[in-house]
């Protein structure tokens, strides 16, 4: 890479969980409690295997089969549960359950060099809250996935939201920084160079895919952006 320059058609995009915000992602308990909220509101008593199928993050065959057995629309129930998951996730963040990664101060220096954006598989309301709560004002574009089945299907490694970011920033290429194999694959599919960030939570992860760059701190991005 020859570096990102002001005025060039390149951008620097970041994943959120594990890259900007500490931790691998939203706790599974959030989805379980969100389902409890929705079932209680609908006065539905669901237990055993059916309940376990509805608690999972995925909008998969098991979730749809459980909804069919219960006689409810799977897309409607899934979106309702995700709305509650997003609300509970925001409440946990507001209470201080997670913090920014210590090297996010690199964003200020990077923003002086190139447009930067945040693109996450986490829910869009959650991502917006993180940016506002922690005053991450350097991001020119912020995008989490939509709530519901369409948002689930468009999550990385699908490049849908990365392509949306590139359009919004009027960019045709650049770097995407993530901490999972799905981030590397999504970057490649969007025509971006994949930067894999090693942190404590993924230090021993075997990617099975080859990123263009591997770093251990966001501060290392400065030389990449400058073409070093």
**Mutual orientation of helices 124-133 and 74-94 as an angle, nearest 10°?**
10
78, 89 contact by CB (below 8 A): no
Report residue 201: phi and psi, to 5°. Answer: -70, -20
Q: How confident is the model at residue 6 (pLDDT cuts 50, 70, 90)?
A: very low
**192 to 180, 198, 224: CA distances (angstroms):** 15, 19, 13
Instruction: Answer whether 119's CB lies under 8 Å from 165's CB.
Output: yes
pLDDT tens, residue by residue, 199-228: 999 999 999 999 999 999 999 999 999 876
Query: CB neighbours of 53 closer than 8 A, spacing ≥ 6?
Result: 62, 63, 65, 66
14 with 196: CB under 8 angstroms? no
- pLDDT tens-digit series, residues 64-99: 999 999 999 999 999 999 999 999 999 999 999 999
- The residue-averaged pLDDT of 93-116 equals 95
For 119-151, the pLDDT digits (tens) are 999 999 999 999 999 999 999 999 999 999 999
Percent with pLDDT over 90 in the chain: 88
Q: For residue 56, what pLDDT is reported?
A: 84
Q: Is 215 exposed, middle or buried (0-12, 13-18, 19+ CB in 10 A)?
A: middle
């Amino acid at each position: 890479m020859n570096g990102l320059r002001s005025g060039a058609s390149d951008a620097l995009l970041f994943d959120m969980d594990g890259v900007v915000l500490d931790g691998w992602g939203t706790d599974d308990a959030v989805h379980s409690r969100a389902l409890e909220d929705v079932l209680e509101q609908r006065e539905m008593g669901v237990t055993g295997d059916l309940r376990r199928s509805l608690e999972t993050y995925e909008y998969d065959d098991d979730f749809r089969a459980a909804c069919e057995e219960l006689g409810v629309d799977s897309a409607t129930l899934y979106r309702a549960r995700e709305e509650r998951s997003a609300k509970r996730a925001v409440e946990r963040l507001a209470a201080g359950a997670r913090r920014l990664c210590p090297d996010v101060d690199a964003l200020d220096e990077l923003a002086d060099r190139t447009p930067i954006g945040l693109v996450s598989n986490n829910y869009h309301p959650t991502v917006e809250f993180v940016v506002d709560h922690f005053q991450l004002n350097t991001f020119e574009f912020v995008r989490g996935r939509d709530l519901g089945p369409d948002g689930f299907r468009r999550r990385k490694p699908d490049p849908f939201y990365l392509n949306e970011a590139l359009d919004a920033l009027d960019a045709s290429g650049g770097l995407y920084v993530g901490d999972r194999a799905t981030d590397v694959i999504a970057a490649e599919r969007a025509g971006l160079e994949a930067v894999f960030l090693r942190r404590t939570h993924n230090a021993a992860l075997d990617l099975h895919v080859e990123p263009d760059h591997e770093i251990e701190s966001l501060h290392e991005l400065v030389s990449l952006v400058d073409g070093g």
